[in-house]
Amino acid sequence: MEKFRTPLSRVRLWGSAKAGSGLFVAQRLTAIALVPISLWFVASVIFFIVKADHAALVAWLQSSWNAEILILLILAMFYHGYLGVHEVVEDYVHHEVVKAITLVSMKFVIIAITVASVLAVLRIALGT
């Protein structure tokens, strides 16, 4: 029976097929990236940051690849968190206006703190 149906009739009434799959893929790609990066960050905190003063932290961020990995962490983790909370809000906030305001505010906030955090790392790494 199924094979006689047109592709359109198979997908009709089963919901949106717009940009959702792109976000689905982005959530998983950031997840894969965050496995090594977040473990690197936890190890850095344990082995270095807990006993570092400000000067030691600055020196650490100015040496080798630390600033670069930290910026990758910010980009991947903040985007991953944004996508996840977006999904939770979509699932549990049912008031359309509240939902819209929450989702738009989240977008502004995540972009603002991402820019501020990357800039903070760059300022330390470049010594300005």
Partner 1 sequence: MIMTHKRPLSPHLQIYQPQLTSMMSILHRATGVFLSVGILVLAYWLIAAADGTETYQQAQSLLGSWLGLLLLFGWSFSLFYHLCNGIRHLFWDAGLGMDIKTAYATGKVVWVATIILTALAWVLAFSLKGGG
**Binding positions for partner 1, rule: CB under 8 A:** 13, 28, 31-32, 34-35, 38-39, 42, 45-47, 50-51, 53-55, 57-58, 74, 77-78, 81-82, 84-85, 88, 113, 116-117, 119-121, 123-124
Between 45 and 100, whose beta carbon lies closer to partner 1? 45
Between 11 and 119, whose beta carbon lies closer to partner 1? 119
Relative orientation angle of helices 20-47 and 66-92, to the nearest 10 degrees: 130
Contacts of 107 (CB under 8 A, 6+ apart): 82
- How many angstroms separate the CA atoms of 57 and 48, rounded? 8
Kindly state the smallest distance separating residue 93's Cβ from partner 1, in Å: 13
- How many angstroms separate the CA atoms of 30 and 83, rounded? 10
Between 10 and 28, whose beta carbon lies closer to partner 1? 28
